Structure 1
Amino acid sequence: MEFSIYPGLYGCIPEEFCQYKEASIAILPIPYDGTSTWMKGSNLGPQALLDASANMELYDIETDSEVFKRGIVTIDPVSCPDDPEAMVDVVCDRARSILNDGKFIVGIGGEHTISIGSVRAAAERFSDLSVLQFDAHSDTRNEYEGSRYNHACVMSRIAEICPYVQAGIRSMDSSELERLNRDRTFFAHEILNGSNVTHKILKALTQNVYISIDLDVFDPSIMPSTGTPEPGGLDWYTLIKLIELVVREKDVVGMDVTELLPNPANRSPDFMAAKLVYRVLSMIFTKKKES
C-alpha cells in the first residue's frame, strides 16, 4: 500500500531518517473519539503528541542510543468513520499494510478502542501473540451503552483475538468480575506496594508481545490529560521499569499509546506522552541492535 507521509513529523526528525522505505518504525495517528463516555477530546491527542514531540532531545540517556537513526516515519492519520466497529476495520487494514512492509507500528490515539484494529493486524502477522495492557481500567465489559466496541469493552474484544495481561488496574465494574483472571490481572496497589509481580507478568505473556498503554495508567498528578483519570496510578519510572523488563525477556512487536486528551493550558502531559513513545522505542531497538 502507498502511504502519504504526514507533514507533522514525530520528533522533527531529520528528513533522511523519515523515508518510508528505509524506516524501521511507523507512527500511525488514529484520531478517534467516538465512544468516550466522560470527557471528550482524545481525537485531538495524536496532533498534540506530534506537536509536543518537536521539543524532544533525541539522544536517550538510559540506553545511550539515538533510535531515530533507525528511521521513524509518521504516516497520514487514519480517516476514522464514526461507527467504532467500522473504525476498527479501517485501522486494521492500515496496520496490516504497515506490518506487512516490515515496520514496527506505533498507534497514537485517540480512545483505547483503536487498539483492537492494531492488535488484530499484529495477530495476523505474528504467531504466539499476547497483549500487555497498561491501564487504570479493566475495560472488560462485553457491551456498554449498546455497543460491543465501546472503549469500556476493548479487552473483551482483544480477548477474542489473543491472550492479554493487565497491569495498573484500579477501577472496574462488578460485572467485569466474571472475566477477571487473577493470573493475568495486576492491580496498581499490588505494583506500588512493592509486590513482586514482574515474574508473574512475564510468565503470563507469550514470546511475542504487543504493548498497549492507556495514559490513565499514570497517576493524574503527572498525567491529568485523559478522559477518565483515576487516583492512585503509576509513576513514570515504575511503568518504565516494568516495560524494560518485558522488553528484555520478550519480543515486543508493536505498541500503541491512547487516551491523551490535550489541555491547551497544560502542554506538559502532551510532551510526556511523546517522550514515553520515544523512551519505549529506545528500549526496544537497543535490544534489537544487541541481538
Structure 2
Amino acid sequence: MIKGNFIPINFLGLDENSSRFETSKVVILPVPFERTVSFGRGTSRGPSSIIYSSRCLELYDDELGCEPYTCGVHTLAELECGSVDPAHMVSAVSEACSQLLGLNKFIITLGGEHSITLGAIKGHKTRFKDFSVLNLDAHCDLRDSYEGTPFNHACVMRRVLEEGYNVVEVGIRSYSKEEAEFIKGNKNLKVIHAREIFKSKNQEWMDEVISSLLPQVYISVDLDVFDPSFVPSTGTPEPGGLGWYDVTELIKTVFKKRKVIGFDIMELAPASGIVGPDVLAAKLAYKAIGYKFSKK
C-alpha cells in the first residue's frame, strides 16, 4: 500500500511474528521529507535513524511493567515524496494516513520536517471529526508564509488552525513579531511557554494543558521542544527547552485522560557520532505505544 524504500529492519528489531501488518495495532510510517528546512539540514535521515536506533531499546518497559510491542508494531516502507513540492507531500501523507486509519491502525509518523504533520492531521480528519492538536515544540510555527511557501515547516500550525482545530502548544520559547500578534487574536490557540513550565509549581502547567484539550487529541512532537543538551541534532535548536520527564509525564497524562488518535515525531537531523538524540526519539515512540496500549 505504501510505496517507497524499505528500511531493512523493523522498529525495535522485531521479528515477523511481532510485526505482521495484518495483526499489528501500530504502524510506523517513515516520511523522509526535507524541502523547506531553514537552518540545519539532515531531517530526511531522521526516520531511518530512529528505526535503526530502536534496536538498542529494551522491549520491557520498567515504568509500565510490560512489553508494549506485544500489541504488534509494523514498520512501513518510507513514503515516496522526497522529490515533490510541499503541497503534494501533504496530500500524499494525508492519503496514506487515511488508508491506514481505515484499517484501524494507530499511526506513529516519523519525519522529516515538521510540515509533514499537516498531512498526517488531514488524514486523521477523514476518520476523526473533532480533536485537538497538542504540539510540543520550541517554535510556534504560525507564520502565514515563509521562504516562498505557505507549507513551510514554520507555517504548519497556522495551516492546522485553518483546518478548524484548536491547538495547544507546549514548550514554546521562540517566535516572530508577526506570530506574537497572531497569538493574541486567536481563540483556538493556547500557548504554554517553556519559561512558564520552569516556574510552575506542582505541575500546574500540565493541568492547564489537559483542561485545554478536547476529548480526542493528536500529538505532534518537534524534537526541538527538548533542551539542546538532550537533543542537539535538530534543525533549529533553542536553549531553555524541556527535559525527558517533562515531556514523557505530559504525554503519559494526555494518553490517560484523553483519547490519543495519532502521534508523530519530527525534525531529527542525525549527526555523525551523536546517537543519543536518535535513541531518545526511538524511546519516545515506544513510550507512546506503551501509553496507548498498556493496561497500567
Please give the TM-score of this superposition, normalised by the length of structure 2. 0.94
Name the residue aligned to 2:136.
134
Could you tell me whether the CA contact under 8 Å between 2:3 and 2:80 is conserved in 1? no
The offset of 1:8, in angstroms, is 2.3
Residue aligned with 1:202, SS: helix
Deviation of 1:178 (Å)? 2.4
**Other structure's SS at 2:126 match:** helix
Is the 2:69–2:289 contact (alpha carbons within 8 Å) kept by the matching residues of 1? no
Q: Deviations over 1:195-254 (max 9, x none)?
A: 512222112111110100000000001110100000000000011111111111100011
Separation in 1 of the partners of 2:146 and 2:255?
Answer: 33
**Candidates 210, 217, 223, aligned match of 1:209:** 217
Supply the distance in 2 between the matched residues of 1:284 and 1:82 (Cα, whole angstroms). Answer: 33
- For residues 3 and 64 of structure 2, the distance between their equivalents in structure 1, rounded to whole angstroms, comes to 31
2:92 corresponds to 1:86: no
| SS, match of residue 120 in structure 2 | helix
SS of 1:220's partner is coil
Q: Is the 8 A contact 1:127 1:208 kept in 2?
A: no
Give, in whole Å, the separation in 2 of the partners of 1:51 and 1:6: 9
Q: Distance in 2 between matches of 1:50 and 1:243?
A: 21
SS of the equivalent of 2:277 reads helix
Inter-partner Cα distance in structure 2 for 1:52 and 1:254: 22
Amino acid at match of 1:189: R
1:184 counterpart SS class? strand
Paired position in structure 2 for 1:284: 292
- Residue 6 of structure 1, CA deviation: 4.7
Question: What amino acid sits opposite 1:44 in the alignment?
Answer: R
2:179 matches 1:176: yes
Task: Give unpaired runs (5+ residues) of structure 2.
Answer: none
Corresponding residue for 1:37?
Answer: 38
Q: How does 1:40-55 map to 2 (within 5 A)?
A: 40-55=41-56
Match of 1:187 in 2: 193
- Which of 162, 166, 170 lines up with 2:169 in the alignment? 166
Range with bigger deviation, 242-251 or 167-176? 242-251
**1:176-210 superposed Cα distances (whole Å, 9 cap, x missing partner):** 01221586110001012125122221121111101
Distance 2:214 2:126 in 1: 15
Query: How many percent of aligned residue pairs carry the same amino acid?
Result: 39
Closer/same/farther in 2, CA of residues 154 and 59 from structure 1, 3 Å limit: same
Q: In structure 2, give the amino acid aligned to 1:115.
A: T
Report the counterpart of residue 256 of structure 1 in structure 2.
Answer: 264
Residue pair 1:48, 1:262 contacting (<8 A) in 2 also: yes
Instruction: Report deviation, 1:3.
Output: 6.9
The alpha-carbon deviation at position 14 of structure 1 amounts to: 2.3
The CA distance in 2 between the partners of 1:2 and 1:263, in whole Å, is 28
The answer on 1:112 being equivalent to 2:118 is no
Q: Deviations over 1:100-124 (max 9, x none)?
A: 1100000000000000011111122
Aligned partner of 1:127: which letter?
Answer: K
Aligned length: 288
Structure 2 contact 7–48 (Cα < 8 Å) conserved: no
Task: Give the Cα–Cα distance (whole angstroms) in 1 for the partners of residues 205 and 57 of structure 2.
Answer: 32
In structure 1, distance between residues paired with 2:281 and 2:80: 22
Q: Which moved more, 1:132-141 or 1:244-253?
A: 244-253
How far, CA to CA, are the matches of 1:108 and 1:226 in structure 2? 14
Deviation at 1:158, TM superposition (A): 0.8
Moved over 6 A (4+): 2-5
Q: TM-score, normalised to structure 1's length?
A: 0.95
Aligned to 1:197: 205
Q: Which whole-Å CA distance do the structure 2 matches of 1:104 and 1:198 have between them?
A: 25
Q: Which residue of 2 aligns with 1:124?
A: 126
Q: Distance in 2 between matches of 1:149 and 1:2?
A: 23
Q: 8 Å contact 1:30–1:46 — kept in the other structure?
A: yes
Shift of 1:264: 1.4
Instruction: Give the corresponding residue for 1:59.
Output: 60
Distance 1:27 1:34 in 2: 22
Residue 160 (structure 1) shift: 1.8
Distance 1:14 1:145 in 2: 44
- What SS does the aligned partner of 1:65 have? coil
CA-CA distance at 1:82 after TM superposition: 3.0
Q: Distance in 2 between matches of 1:82 and 1:174?
A: 31
Paired with 2:212 and 2:276, the residues of 1 have a C-alpha distance of 34
Find the aligned partners of 1:3 and 1:61 in 2 and give their Cα distance.
Answer: 36
- State the superposition RMSD in angstroms: 1.5
